[in-house]
Amino acid sequence: MEINLEEQFQKRIDEEVKIEPRDWMPEKYRKTLLRQISQHAHSEIVGMLPEGNWITRAPNLRRKVALLAKVQDEAGHGLYLYSAAETLGMSRDEMLEELHTGKAKYSSIFNYPTLTWADMGAIGWLVDGAAIMNQVPLCRTSYGPYARAMVRVCKEESFHQRQGYEIMLTLCKGSEEQKAMAQDALNRWWWPSIMMFGPNDDNSPNSAQSMKWKIKRFSNDELRQKFVDVTVAQAEILGLTIPDKDLKWNEARGHYDFGAINWDEFNNVVAGNGPCNKQRLKARVDAWEKGAWVREAATAYAEKRAKREKNKIEAA
Amino acid sequence: MTNKEWPLWEVFIRAKQGLNHKHVGSLHAADYQMAIENARDVYTRRLEGVSIWVVESKYIHANEPSEQDALFDPASDKIYRHPTFYVLPEELNHM
Ligand SMILES: [Fe+2]
Ligand SMILES: [Fe+2]
C-alpha cells in the first residue's frame, strides 16, 4: 500500500501537479520541506539584522527609506515562509524555539558583520542577487504553499538588488575613498555570497532526492555558476575587481572558471563560529523574550474584548 | 508564564473595486483587528489591495483531498454543458 502511494505521489510530481497541504506525501518529503522552508524563513528574519545596523546611519533620506523598506520586506518574506512551513504541521512557536536554541540553521552569510555603508550596497547587489538566483526556480517548486510564497518574495526582491547596486554605483562614481570602500565591501562579501549556494554537488547528499521531488530545480553548483556568470559583467560596469585571481572566461565551457572555495570557513561558520553567530542569535532571543509582555497583553486584550462583545450581544 | 500562540488567520484581499477577494496567505494575530492591521503590513505594501478579509483558520472547512475524484470527475463527461457541444450553421455568426 505504502509503495503504491509513493508511486502515485511521484507520478503527480512528474506530471507537474502541485502538492497541497492536505494531500498525501511521503514523510521524508514533508520533513525535507519543513527543514528547508523554516531555514529559509529564519534566514529572512535573521537577515534583517546586518542591514538594520545601518538604517539610522544611512547617508540621506532617500537611502534611508529604501533600506527601511527593504528590511521590512525581509520581515514579510519571513512571515510568508513561516506560514508556508506551518502547513506542514509544525507550529510557529516550535520553529522559533528551534531557531533560538540553535537547532535550526539559517543562511551563514548573515553571520558576517556590516562594517561600512558600502556593505549595504554589496549585500543588496550580491546577497540579494544570490538569493534571487536561488529563489526564482523555487517559484516552481512542487509544494504549492512554498511556490506561492516564493512568487510573492521574488516580486519584491528585484528592488532589493537594484537599490544595492545603485549604492555601489554611486560610491564607485564618487571619491577615491568611496570607491575603495566599495571595493573593500566586494572583497569581504564575494566569497560568502558564492558560498550561499551551499556545498558542491558531490558533497550534497540530499540534493538528488530533492531534485527528483522537484523541490529543487537546479543543483547548487549550477546556480553558483549562473551567479558568477552574470555578476562578472556587473562588477566590470562598477569598475571593481572580483577578489579571485583564478576567475577567467572559459571559452570551451561557455562559463567563467573560478577559484576554489574555502569550505573550512563555510563549515566553521555553519558550526556557529562565524564572526557574528552569537550576536545574531542573541538579538533574536532578546527580541523574543523582551516581546513576551506584548504578546501576553495582546492576548489579554483580545480576550477582554471578545467577552465585552459577547455581553453586548446577550444584552441585546 | 508560557505564552499561548496567537491564532492563525487566513487573509483575503480584493485587488481593486469590482474584483473578488482572493486568498493570499495567512498570519498570526491576537484578534481580528490585529489580523487586519498585520495583513495590511504583510500583504499590501505595494498597493496590492483595497479591501481585506480575515477569517480565523479554524473556521475554514474543506472537502477531503481523497474525495477529489468522487466530487469533481462527474463533470468531466458532461460536455453538453459547454456551448461548443452544439453544432450550428456557419452563417449563424454570433450565438
Ligand atoms: Fe528576502
Ligand atoms: Fe531581499
What is the ipTM metric for this complex? 0.90
What's the pLDDT tens digit per position in A114-151?
999 999 999 999 999 999 999 999 999 999 999 999 99
Give residue B2's pLDDT: 52
How far, in Å, CA of A240 to CA of A242, rounded?
7
**Within a domain: B52:** yes
Place of cell 504578546: A295
What is this structure's pTM? 0.93
**Within a domain: B35:** yes
In the three-class reduction of DSSP (H, G, I as helix; E, B as strand; rest coil), residue A126 is classed as helix
What's the pLDDT tens digit per position in A222-278?
999 999 999 999 999 999 999 999 999 999 999 999 999 999 999 999 999 999 999
Ligand nearest to the CA of A46: 1
Using only C-alpha atoms, what is the Rg of chain A?
22
**Within a domain: B20:** yes
Mutate to test the interface with A, among B8, B26, B54, B68 (most CBs of A within 10 A): B26
**Within a domain: B21:** yes
**Within a domain: B90:** no
Check: CB of residue A119 under 8 Å from CB of residue A183.
Answer: no
Residue type, A291: G
Q: Do A22 and B64 touch (CB under 8 A)?
A: yes
Check: CB of residue A54 under 8 Å from CB of residue A120.
Answer: yes
Place of cell 487586519: B36
**Within a domain: B51:** yes
Please check whether residue B51 touches A, CB under 8 A: no
Its domain, for residue B6, covers 1-60
Residue A214 has φ and ψ, to the nearest 5°, of 60, 30
Query: CB count, 10 Å around CB of A288?
Result: 16
**Within a domain: B54:** yes
The grid coordinates of residue A87 equal: 502547513
Please check whether residue B45 touches A, CB under 8 A: yes
Q: Do B5 and A91 touch (CB under 8 A)?
A: yes
The grid coordinates of residue B33 equal: 483587528
**Within a domain: B87:** no
Nearest to A256 by CA among A238, A235, A277, A239: A235
Number of domains in chain B: 1
What's the pLDDT tens digit per position in A14-68?
999 999 999 999 999 999 999 999 999 999 999 999 999 999 999 999 999 999 9
Q: Which CATH number goes with the domain that contains B50?
A: 3.10.20.520
